[in-house]
Amino acid sequence: MHYMRLSHHLALLCTLAALVSWRSRSVGAEPAAPPAGGVKLTLTPLGPVAPDGLQVMLASQDSSHVAYIQKALGKVQVVLDGVPSDPVDWVLPQSLSFSDDGKHLAYAVQTLDKIAVVVDGKRIAYAGRQIGQGLAMVVDGVAGDPYETADYPTFSPDSKHICYCARRQGKTYVILDGKGAVGYPAVTQLPVFSPDGTRLAYAARKTTNTFAVVDSVEQPEYQGVKSVTFSPDSKRVAYRAGRDAKSLVVTDGVEGKLYDFIGEGSPLFSPDSRHLVYMANSAQKWYLVSDNVESPAFDGGFGLPTYSPDSSQLAFLALRDSKAFCVVNGKDSDLTFDSLALLTFSPDSRHMAYGGKTGKQEVVVMDGQPGAPHEGVTGVVYGPDSKHFAYSARDGLNVFLVVDGKATDQKFDGYAHEGRPVYDGPNRMHLIVYRGEQVFRVEVEIPA
């Protein structure tokens, strides 16, 4: 079981990249596998064992696009869906990233005289053009004001705006769309855009204290400011702050209670932006604080609190007296395990799943009912209409797909996306796996 939040897991994909290649060959689909429980699997080979020089591979969340970094004539290049970019001196492997909808690819490159960010192979921003004694950030071929140094730029979610930090004469400036603001001795949190791309926030320091800067307006000073974040509707702002060796959460300018410290990843807004939750520690006990109301004390927890899509439910995987259990809207589950992970809700918010581990056995708990035990399980993925669910499991050296609680017949050596299938409709999904020296796209059809 992967005990972390499910997102682009670069380390796993790098392992897969060492085994497989996405240089396509003209091959046809294998005959459909005999259905198990009525579920039909069709395998299409995608490529052979990796060539020498393949470094990093990444697939978009919907598996519709694949990018990887390869060596080319003493340099490196990014190959997107089989089309290589121009060779450059270096591509920062960790920078290779698809947008959430899979439509955009961004990465950072380095040549002899500049560091650049490339988006969709077209829009380029880089630090590297000398103007007098300074270094200018260049966006779409237009050089900005010169600075001594400049960081990697960040694009807004809609790619319409660009922001970066630059330094000159002992001060750091946040540059938005080529326009500099007030210089500070330090910017302690890099700028973040609101989800709609219209707002910008970061943390900075003038003397010994730090403060949030939201829409170019300085907020009150604290001994430390971290995790400045916007709500999903982009209207609200919250962050962690420090005072007198204690920590608190500031929401829309209103201070919360002081605690010994606030948990990493906090605070979190609900999907409807109406609620806020964070983990807080006081006297070596943990509390889930939802809209400033504390839960009973816990010894610890697994991952972050999770809201249902409709924001009506708040779940948390907790630990008390060496027993791990799930808490939903303040009610403790009677099921206990050694550890828990992979908490998720269905799109209609009516179902919930998580992974539980006891000893060497792992199970998926669906709506309070544990499934069959395996040596390893991945996170559950629900269908768009919430009627079906699927996850991958491992027993011995084999991994396989489990659909609606029933294991399918085909066995594989490994998978991409942490074994998370991607739905193509209410009754169809696919995932990418490898077996032997081949990579396959597995099409899954569930009986209507």
CA 136 to chain CA mean position, Å: 31
Average pLDDT over residues 21-42: 50
Per-residue pLDDT at 291 = 95
Q: Above 80 in pLDDT, residue 227?
A: yes
- Contact residues for 410 (Cβ-Cβ < 8 A; gap 6+): 33, 41, 43, 400, 401, 442
Q: Which carries the bigger pLDDT value, residue 379 or residue 268?
A: 268
Q: Above 70 in pLDDT, residue 335?
A: yes
What pLDDT, in 10s, does the model give residues 91-150? 877 777 777 667 778 787 776 656 666 777 655 556 655 555 555 656 666 666 666 676
Average pLDDT over residues 288-311: 93
CA atoms of 346 and 383, how far apart (whole Å): 8
Q: Above 90 in pLDDT, residue 217?
A: yes
Average pLDDT over residues 337-352: 95
Average pLDDT over residues 149-167: 78
DSSP states along 137-203:
EEETTEEEEEESEE---EE-TTSS-EEEEEEETTEEEEEETTEE---BSEEEEEEEE-TTSS-EEEE
- Contact residues for 264 (Cβ-Cβ < 8 A; gap 6+): none
Per-residue pLDDT at 12 = 31
Q: Above 60 in pLDDT, residue 29?
A: no
Per-residue pLDDT at 5 = 30
Per-residue pLDDT at 14 = 35
179-196+198-233+236-272+275-310 maps to which CATH number? Answer: 2.130.10.150
Name the band, by pLDDT with cuts 50, 70 and 90, for residue 385.
Answer: very high
Per-residue pLDDT at 50 = 46
CA atoms of 147 and 155, how far apart (whole Å): 20
Domain segments of the chain: what residues? 1-52+339-448, 179-196+198-233+236-272+275-310
Strands 323-328 and 314-320: antiparallel
**Predicted structure pTM score:** 0.76
Average pLDDT over residues 241-266: 94
CA atoms of 2 and 277, how far apart (whole Å): 24
Q: Which carries the bigger pLDDT value, residue 248 or residue 207?
A: 248
Burial class (CB within 10 angstroms; exposed 0-12, middle 13-18, buried 19+) of 243? middle
Average pLDDT over residues 7-25: 31
Name the band, by pLDDT with cuts 50, 70 and 90, for residue 290.
Answer: very high
238's enclosing H/E stretch is strand 237-243
Give 3-state DSSP helix, strand, coil % of the chain, rounded to 5.
5, 55, 45
Per-residue pLDDT at 21 = 28
Per-residue pLDDT at 48 = 55
* Inter-residue contact 393 to 378 (CB < 8 Å): yes
Most confident of 53-62, 162-171, 358-367: 358-367
Per-residue pLDDT at 72 = 75
* Inter-residue contact 43 to 30 (CB < 8 Å): yes
Q: What percent of the chain has pLDDT over 70?
A: 78
Per-residue pLDDT at 3 = 37
Per-residue pLDDT at 83 = 81
Q: Above 90 in pLDDT, residue 232?
A: yes
Instruction: Indicate the SS3 state at residue 348.
Output: coil
Q: What is the dihedral of CA 37, 42, 45, 50, to 10 degrees?
A: -30
Q: Which carries the bigger pLDDT value, residue 290 or residue 421?
A: 290
CA atoms of 99 and 104, how far apart (whole Å): 5
Q: How many helices (H) and strands (E) does the chain have?
A: 1, 48
Report the mean per-residue pLDDT for the chain: 81
CA atoms of 333 and 36, how far apart (whole Å): 32
